[in-house]
Amino acid sequence: MAKLTDLYDAIVKGNLELAVSTTKEALQENIDPQILISDYLIKGMEEIGAQFEAGKAYVPNLLMSARAMKGALELLKPYMESNKEVATLGKVVIGTVKGDLHDIGKNLVCSMLEGCGFEVINLGVDVSDQKFVQAAQENKANIICMSALLTTTMVYMKEVIKAFEKAGIRDDVKIMVGGAPLSEKFAKEIGADGYSDNANAAVTLARKLLNK
Ligand code: B1M
């Protein structure tokens, strides 16, 4: 039987092999992927983040944890994309804003949106305002999702919204924002259409914004 606490330990210690083997075992035992993500993987990332903040872990530790998390998520991704045959609910352009390289949470949001029937254009990390605007125009996007994990980069989201206004296409898209340092209040202040604090809530919000 899969020892699920091993999954948490694997993320905290940055042990890719253990993360992969425990995830495989858990999937063979039909354990809900959402439980693996919420109760073990994300909790593990929170712990290594807290250790980093306390000066007990360093950037290489974060990188190893991120690598272990990505290895596990790669195995879980197909289970989050099971509804792909469903007609697309809308097109989403998503990216982590300029200056910010954190992409684990953003990729989780991508997988959930795809799994729930949205077509997702993932621009990756360090995405400039012009790249967001260009991708929205080229793909005729319905929704723009921005992610930021740093207090220094979240402010750039306002620049992106301004760029949509300047290009004259602000009213053609709904703009959603998310990431650990953000809040509903911040989203309102910068003129976004909505904020969500996790991947499931992002899907609910996207559907609501498009009346789906
Ligand atoms: Co960085 N880092 N990091 N880091 N890192 C944080 C964010 C930090 C809080 C750690 C800490 O001090 N406790 C801190 C930020 C402090 C601050 O700004 N207040 C920090 C720092 C300081 C830094 C560096 C500056 C460190 C340095 O170099 N000295 C540096 C910056 C690099 C850069 O971006 N320019 C840096 C680098 C890195 C790594 C590259 C080593 C690595 C990232 C690897 C990667 O992503 N590929 C990393 C990591 C792993 C973290 C922590 C430990 C984990 C982040 C994570 O993946 N969480 C993080 C500490 C923490 O969060 N506890 C930390 C798990 C993920 C599932 O959650 O991303 O919050 P999250 O996503 C959630 C929600 O927020 C939401 O849904 C997701 C799923 O439920 N969500 C959205 C996210 N995006 C959304 C978009 C939406 C909707 C919802 O659109 C609508």
For 5-82, give the CATH class: mainly alpha
40 alpha carbon – ligand 1 mean position (Å):
17
Q: What average pLDDT is seen over the chain?
A: 92
Q: Report whether pLDDT(36) > 80.
A: yes
Q: Tell which residue, 54, 55, 53, 69, has the closest CA to residue 13.
A: 69
Supply the residue whose CA is at minimum distance from atom 8 of ligand 1. Answer: 49
Residues within 6 Å of ligand 1 by CB: 42, 45-46, 48-49, 52-53, 59, 62-63, 65-66, 99-106, 108-109, 145, 147, 149-151, 176-181, 196-199, 202
Instruction: Characterize 159-170 residue by residue with b for buried, 16 or more Cβ atoms within 10 angstroms of its Cβ, and e for exposed.
Output: ebbebbeebeee
DSSP 169: -
85 alpha carbon – ligand 1 mean position (Å):
32
Rounded (10°) CA dihedral 86, 90, 91, 92: -100
Taking the C-alpha atoms of residue 69 and residue 102, their distance in angstroms, rounded to an integer, is: 13
**pTM summary value:** 0.90
For 91-209, give the CATH class: alpha beta
What confidence tier does 200 reach under pLDDT thresholds 50, 70, 90? confident
User: What is the Cα gyration radius of the chain?
Assistant: 17
3 alpha carbon – ligand 1 mean position (Å):
27
Measured CA to CA in angstroms, residue 193 lies from 48, 75, 85, 92, 106 at distances of 32, 33, 28, 14, 18
pLDDT of residue 169: 98
Report, as an integer, the average pLDDT of 129-142.
98
* 23-27, 64-68, 138-142, 156-160: least confidently modelled range: 64-68
Q: Report whether pLDDT(144) > 70.
A: yes
| Domain ranges for the chain | 5-82, 91-209
Taking the C-alpha atoms of residue 154 and residue 181, their distance in angstroms, rounded to an integer, is: 8
pLDDT tens track for 78-134: 887 654 544 578 999 999 999 999 999 999 899 888 877 889 999 999 999 999 999
The first and second tokens of residue 42, run together, are 């994300």
